[in-house]
C-alpha cells in the first residue's frame, strides 16, 4: 500500500510517500542527498516495506515539495527542525533512519539533538566532515587523467564551473566516483531526477561544485561528537565512492556501536549500482536491530 500527502513544516510544505505492506517492523525514514536533490532516485528502497513501513520525503525547496523563495531557510538547523516535524506529523515514535550523502549530514546533526526513539541509523556514503570531504576529492581527482584534473582545477579557480568544458570533465569524474553503471546517454530516470533538483540550495549550502565547499556547510564537522550517537549504526560506501572507504571506516570507528560495509562494485550510488545487495545488507541490519 502506498500513500502520499504534504506535511506543514517551517517555511512551507514537504511532500512524502509512505509504503507499507502491513508489516510489523519499526518504520524507516529515508533522507535523500543534495542539499537540494530529491528522494526520486531512492524510491527503490520501498522494497524494504516487506518488513516495515518505508517513508521517503522531499526536503523543502526541492522535489515535489514547496519551493519558497526565502533563502534564509537553507541552513542545516532548519532541515533538522524539518525532520523532527515530519517525524511528529507521521507519529514515528520509534524509527530507523537511513541517510545518503548529504542525508547523512542531516541524520548526524539530527541525532546530536538527542531525540528519543531512534532505533538505528544507517550512514550511506557519509559526509560528516566538509573539510575531510573536500580533501578526499582532491585525492580522488589525482586518480583521473591529467587533462581532466587541469580542466577542473582551472574552472574552479576561474569561477567557470558552469562552462561546457567543466561539465564534460565532471562527467568523467562521475563515471569513476559517482555511478559506475553504464547506461544510455541521459536515461529517462536521470533526466527526471535532474528536474527535481534545486541548484540554488546546493550553491548556498555547499557551493558551485563537489570539490570546494564555499557555502554555509563549509565548517561542518561532527566527527568530534560522533561518540554521542549511542544507537546501533551502519556505515556503508562504495569501493570507488566519493565518500571514500577510508573516511567511512574512520567515521564508523568513532561511534560506540558502529558497523562498516563496502559495496565492492559501486561508487557513490550503491542503492542503484548494486540494488539487490544494498537492500540485502540494509534489510538484514534493520531486522537484526528489531529482533534485539
Contacts from 129-132 at CB under 8 Å and sequence distance 24+?
A: 129/220, 129/221, 129/222, 129/223, 129/247, 130/213, 130/217, 130/218, 130/219, 130/220, 130/221, 131/213, 131/219, 131/221, 132/221, 132/223, 132/247
Rounded Cα gap, residues 51 and 180, in angstroms = 29
**Joined grid coordinates for residue 189:** 530516470
Catalytic residue list contains 266? no
240: helix, strand or coil: coil
Q: Is 101 a catalytic residue?
A: yes
Side-chain-side CA neighbours of 63 within 13 Å: the count stands at: 26
The one catalytic residue among 38, 41, 65, 101 = 101
Q: Is 187 helix (H, G, I), strand (E, B) or coil?
A: coil
Which position among 241, 247, 261, 266 bears the catalytic label? Answer: 241
Beta carbons of 280 and 19 less than 8 angstroms apart: no
Question: Is residue 221 among the annotated active site residues?
Answer: no
Q: What is d(CA 287, CA 281) in angstroms, rounded to the nearest whole number?
A: 10
Question: Known catalytic residues?
Answer: 101, 241, 268
Amino acid at each position: 500500500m502506498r500513500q502520499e500527502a504534504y506535511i506543514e513544516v517551517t517555511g512551507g510544505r514537504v511532500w512524502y510517500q509512505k509504503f507499507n505492506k502491513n508489516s510489523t517492523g519499526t518504520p524507516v525514514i529515508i533522507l535523500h542527498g543534495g542539499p537540494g536533490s530529491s528522494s526520486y532516485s531512492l524510491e527503490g528502497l520501498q522494497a524494504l516495506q516487506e518488513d516495515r513501513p518505508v517513508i521517503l520525503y522531499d526536503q523543502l525547496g526541492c522535489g515535489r515539495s514547496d519551493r519558497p523563495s526565502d533563502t534564509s531557510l537553507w541552513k542545516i538547523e532548519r532541515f533538522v527542525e524539518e525532520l523532527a516535524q515530519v517525524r511528529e506529523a507521521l507519529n514515528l515514535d520509534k524509527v530507523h533512519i537511513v541517510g545518503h550523502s548529504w542525508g547523512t549530514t542531516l541524520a548526524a546533526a539530527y541525532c546530536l539533538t538527542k531525540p528519543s526513539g531512534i532505533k538505528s541509523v544507517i550512514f550511506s556514503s557519509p559526509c560528516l566532515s566538509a573539510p575531510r570531504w573536500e580533501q578526499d576529492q582532491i585525492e580522488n581527482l589525482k586518480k583521473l587523467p591529467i587533462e581532466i584534473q587541469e580542466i577542473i582545477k582551472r574552472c574552479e579557480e576561474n569561477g567557470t564551473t558552469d562552462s561546457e568544458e567543466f561539465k564534460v570533465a565532471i562527467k568523467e569524474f562521475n563515471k569513476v566516483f559517482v555511478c559506475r553503471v553504464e547506461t544510455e546517454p541521459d536515461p529517462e530516470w536521470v533526466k527526471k531526477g535532474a528536474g527535481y533538483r534545486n541548484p540554488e540550495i546546493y550553491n548556498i549550502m555547499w557551493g558551485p561544485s563537489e570539490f570546494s565547499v564555499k557555502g554555509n556547510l563549509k565548517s561542518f564537522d561532527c566527527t568530534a561528537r560522533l561518540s554521542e550517537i549511542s544507537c546501533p549504526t551502519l556505515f556503508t560506501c562504495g569501493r570507488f565512492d566519493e565518500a571514500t572507504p577510508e573516511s567511512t571506516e574512520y567515521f564508523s570507528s568513532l561511534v560506540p556501536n558502529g558497523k562498516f560495509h563496502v559495496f565492492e562494485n559501486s561508487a557513490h550510488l550503491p542503492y542503484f549500482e548494486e540494488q539487490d545487495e544494498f537492500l540485502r545488507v540494509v534489510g538484514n541490519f534493520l531486522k537484526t536491530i528489531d529482533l534485539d
